[in-house]
Amino acid sequence: MQIGFPKGRPTIASEDGSYAFSVGLLAQEDFGGFLGAGPRGNEAKGNFNSFTQNARRLRLYFSWRYKDWVVNVTPDFGSSSVDGTVGLFEANLNYTGLRNTTLTVGYFQPRMEEESAERSGAFEFLERPTIVDLVRNIAGGVARFSVGGEHWEKRWLAAAYFTGQKFGDRNKDTTITDSQTGGVARIAGRPYVSKDIDVHVGAGATAAFKLNENSSGRNYTFNDNMEVPLGETSLLTSGALKDVSQIWAAGPQLAFRWKNLLLKSEYYHIGVSRGNQPVGSNLPSLGFDGWYVAANYTIFGHPRAYNPKIAAFTSPGVEYDFDPAHNHWGALEVSGRWSVTDLGDVASQGGTGVNGNQQTVWQAGFNWYPNQHIKFMVDYARYIVSRSKGVSNGVNVLGRDGNAIVARAQAAF
């Protein structure tokens, strides 16, 4: 038997390497609050705590391997933006016997966006941009039934998955009579790379060929918080979309690294087809848009590097662990991001109308890594929500804006 800690994970393996079992960890504890988010006029207050805490992700990664077959099971004790929610991150079977290829079946997170491909432990900010969260959950997202795979080379990656419903969908809604089917695809490349420069280009696409059908039909609502994971009231919404036949999204991904500076941007268009059901309602199709632009600079430590296995950039490297006595301070980076999501289209359709709004978020933050397993984050967010005439959870979101300051302590092994 062999016992070791590759990449910090406790691992037991057979002497010939055929069998292996490992346990990993991702623990994220967030704390902070909102400024200037109080009610105005007759508005309800909503859930915007001046100070609160949230266990964002508390994952235990269990992995069993026999030769080229790998089983991953990952419970998550912080699986929502609401503290105390327990769920499943993944439970899947993988085959790795083909060169630079992984084939997967089971509950998985198929990734079509560069931001998601980075993995949640390596984010520049506490959470993904809103548009990324919206499109990834159309036919992907955490614990989505998936069948497919991905192949990578030094200069490119291609991935495609057929997907179904999410883990727990039918438990949450016992009236579902026809489960969702969809697909996710991504292609990415590095057209130019040198010691100081990395250029990333790519594109992602996702589609729900049909949605879960329940006692109310096939309906869908886009909504999200303002990229602050403290269990706050969601301000961005499309309103309830009725009689939805299909939803799709697609868009480009661009990134450029020059020495310690990294620039990234993604844009996605969302298309919603309605009607054409057995009792179709002949509603017009809808189109929504969103994008973000982000900049990151590594002040000290190794800059973010490109990982061709995931076609994304990873966390800064720590040359020496934090040790003030020897003038070692780990790694430090500063980031800024501008994010816009517009869910407004077709101003009025009667009882099945679209009453969406637009959200803009400006963020700035610092991330400090005292060693390769520990991370501390501090983010400031300025959010502006406009163009809504509706009410969400008792909060009039017309023109509401505010500020948030949130910190995170993270451990990852």
- Please report the DSSP string for 105-138 in residue order: EEEE----SHHHHT-GGG-SSSS--HHHHHHHHH
Distances (CA, A) of 300 to 41, 122, 257: 47, 17, 16
**How far apart, in whole angstroms, are the C-alpha atoms of residue 353 and residue 216?**
16
Alpha helix stretches (DSSP H) within 91-224: 114-117, 130-139, 169-172
Bridge partners of 11, per DSSP, are 4, 22
**How far apart, in whole angstroms, are the C-alpha atoms of residue 413 and residue 381?**
28
**How far apart, in whole angstroms, are the C-alpha atoms of residue 386 and residue 361?**
12
**How far apart, in whole angstroms, are the C-alpha atoms of residue 270 and residue 211?**
15
Are residues 262 and 303 in contact, defined by beta-carbon separation less than 8 angstroms? yes
Bridge partners of 193, per DSSP, are 198
- Please report the DSSP string for 353-366 in residue order: -----EEEEEEEEE
**How far apart, in whole angstroms, are the C-alpha atoms of residue 191 and residue 265?**
17
Query: Please, what are the averages of pLDDT over each run of 10 residues along the chain (413 residues)?
Result: 90 95 97 83 76 94 98 92 86 98 98 95 96 97 97 98 95 92 98 96 97 92 89 84 93 98 98 71 85 98 96 96 96 98 69 72 98 98 77 59 95 96
Cβ-count burial 46-61 (b if 16+ within 10 Å, e if not)? bbbeeebebbbbbbeb
pTM > 0.95 = no
Using only C-alpha atoms, the chain has a radius of gyration, in whole angstroms, of 22
CA-CA-CA-CA dihedral for 115, 156, 66, 9, to nearest 10: -40
Give the long-range contacts of residues 299-305, CB within 8 A, separation 24 or more: 299/260, 299/332, 299/333, 299/334, 300/329, 300/331, 300/332, 301/330, 301/331, 301/332, 301/333, 301/369, 302/331, 303/257, 303/259, 303/260, 303/261, 303/262, 304/257, 304/262, 304/333, 305/198
Give the residue carrying structure tokens 């809504």. Answer: 388
**How far apart, in whole angstroms, are the C-alpha atoms of residue 263 and residue 360?**
19
**How far apart, in whole angstroms, are the C-alpha atoms of residue 86 and residue 70?**
24
**How far apart, in whole angstroms, are the C-alpha atoms of residue 93 and residue 100?**
17
Is residue 224 within a helix (H) or strand (E), and if so which, with residue range? strand 223-224
pLDDT for the residue numbered 206: 98
The amino acid at residue 205 is: A
Token couple for 28? 């994220």
Are residues 358 and 344 in contact, defined by beta-carbon separation less than 8 angstroms? yes
The correct CATH number of 25-412 out of 2.40.160.10, 3.40.50.300, 2.60.120.10, 3.40.50.970 is 2.40.160.10
Question: Where exactly are the structural domains of the chain?
Answer: 25-412
Alpha helix stretches (DSSP H) within 141-255: 169-172
pLDDT for the residue numbered 43: 65
